[in-house]
């Protein structure tokens, strides 16, 4: 597989992922709707693409990292979109977290152009995007996966081919259900401790080595104790992911009770202007109800 990679979507996640590819000596052509983001990559050694179409015309592999399903469809099939510039046998990797049914729809259309698609959403947030240790969950044809796995390995510490196109996003949505439920449970527990006059930090230290211990607990509880809700992963993005969970669950006839409940908690915080907080800020929902602050 050639080393010429197109990268569209240079936001909080895409930018550090693209920089890591440059550090690994891949040749990058980049595009974003925010010129400042493009300039940051060009200063690191990338080439600026004139449009999504132009990026695809110059690339053997194209990666997108975008907010949601409509953005991906627009970038691929919109005016001057990637599909207008894809060469035959290009491999397209969508690393956005979107509705898995949309991934399948896009893949089916691109097959007509002899373009193989992988859906490869990630978990780990901005810190792991920066240090190249993301968990990458991939759906798509195994031959395309094997060709681009060295590229994915640059951005992730764990790269797993799960199954056909769409299965990457099913895995990501599953991940987002578990992360959200973990944060909600942690929030409920720590507010209970605080209301009882027990030091939440001591409770955290006591439970983290037992069955309740988790990567989520260790990543998010220190932020809560420091009242640091600077986003690694914004509440509004978790609302988006859980919305995709509910949409997919309804189409598949699968229950999504916890996801629906946590969406309502997060929407309450959005109504108070806290949608840009890290998703660990979900604890503020419980704090508002209990009139107490965990610190």
DSSP collapsed to 3 states, 243-275: HHHHHHHHHHCCCCHHHHHHHHHHHHHHHCCCC
In this predicted structure, the answer to whether residue 126 has a pLDDT above a threshold of 90 is no
pLDDT score recorded for residue 3: 75
Tens of pLDDT, residues 99-122: 999 999 999 999 999 999 999 999
The least confident of 8-17, 89-98, 229-238, 281-290 is 229-238
Helix, strand, coil percentages in the chain from 3-state DSSP, rounded to 5: 55, 15, 30
Average pLDDT over residues 168-189: 96
Identify the burial level of 211 via C-beta atoms within 10 angstroms of its C-beta, where 0-12 means exposed, 13-18 middle and 19 or more buried: exposed
Q: What is the 3-state secondary structure (H, E, C) of 81-135?
A: CHHHCCCCCCEEEECCCCCHHHHHHHHHHHHCCCCEEEECCEECHHHHHHHCCEE
In this predicted structure, the answer to whether residue 233 has a pLDDT above a threshold of 90 is no
Tens of pLDDT, residues 276-288: 999 999 999 999 9
Helices and strands per DSSP (H, E), number in the chain = 13, 9
Hey, what domains does the chain have and what are their CATH numbers? Answer: 4-165 (3.40.50.720), 170-290 (1.10.1040.10)
Portion of the chain with pLDDT greater than 70, in percent: 99
pLDDT score recorded for residue 178: 96
* Cα gap 86→54, rounded to integer Å: 9
Q: Of 15, 53, 128, 172, which is the active-site residue?
A: 172
pLDDT score recorded for residue 124: 85
Task: Please check whether residue 119 is in contact with residue 165, taking contact to mean a CB–CB distance below 8 angstroms.
Answer: yes
Tens of pLDDT, residues 40-55: 999 999 999 999 999 9
Q: What is the chain's mean pLDDT, rounded?
A: 96
Average pLDDT over residues 170-174: 95
Of the candidates 160, 143, 126, 156, the one whose C-alpha atom is nearest the C-alpha of residue 279 is: 126
Q: CA angle, 125 as apex, 119 and 126 as ends, to 5°?
A: 115
Which spans in 159-255 are helix H? 167-195, 200-207, 215-225, 235-252
In this predicted structure, the answer to whether residue 4 has a pLDDT above a threshold of 70 is yes
Q: Please tell me whether the overall predicted TM-score, pTM, comes out greater than 0.95 for this model.
A: no
Tens of pLDDT, residues 185-213: 999 999 999 999 999 999 999 999 999 99
pLDDT score recorded for residue 232: 80
Average pLDDT over residues 131-146: 97
pLDDT score recorded for residue 2: 54
- Residue 213, classed as helix, strand or coil, is coil
Confidence tier at 127 by pLDDT (50, 70, 90)? confident
Distance set, CA 61 to CA 17, 58, 88, 145 (Å): 15, 9, 11, 11
Catalytic residue flag (residue 53): no
- Phi first, then psi, for residue 161 (nearest 5°) are -85, 120
């Amino acid at each position: 597989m050639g080393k010429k990679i197109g990268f569209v979507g240079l936001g909080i996640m895409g930018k550090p992922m693209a920089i890591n590819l440059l550090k690994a000596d891949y040749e990058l052509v980049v595009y974003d709707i925010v010129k400042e983001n493009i300039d940051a990559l060009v200063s690191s050694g990338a080439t600026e693409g004139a449009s999504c179409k132009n990026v695809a015309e110059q690339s053997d592999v194209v990666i997108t990292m975008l907010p949601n399903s409509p953005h991906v469809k627009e970038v691929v099939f919109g005016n001057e979109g990637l599909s207008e510039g894809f060469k035959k046998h290009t491999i397209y990797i969508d690393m956005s977290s979107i509705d898995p049914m949309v991934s399948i729809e896009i893949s089916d259309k691109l097959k007509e152009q002899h373009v193989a698609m992988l859906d490869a959403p990630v978990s780990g947030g901005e810190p792991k995007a920066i240090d190249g240790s993301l968990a990458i969950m991939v759906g798509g044809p195994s031959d395309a996966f094997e060709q681009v796995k060295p590229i994915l390995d640059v951005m992730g510490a764990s790269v797993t081919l799960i199954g056909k196109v769409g299965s990457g996003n099913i895995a990501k949505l599953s991940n987002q259900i578990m992360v959200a439920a973990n944060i909600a449970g942690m929030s409920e527990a720590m507010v209970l401790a605080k209301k009882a006059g027990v030091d939440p930090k001591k409770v955290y230290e006591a439970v983290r080595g037992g069955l309740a211990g988790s990567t989520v607990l260790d990543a998010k509880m220190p932020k809560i104790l420091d009242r640091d809700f600077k986003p690694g992963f914004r509440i509004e993005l978790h609302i988006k992911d859980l919305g995709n969970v509910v949409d997919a669950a309804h189409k598949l006839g699968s229950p999504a009770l916890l996801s629906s409940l946590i969406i309502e908690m997060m929407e309450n915080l959005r109504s108070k202007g806290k949608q840009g907080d890290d998703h660990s800020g979900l604890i503020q929902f419980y704090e508002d109800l209990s009139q107490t602050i965990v610190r």
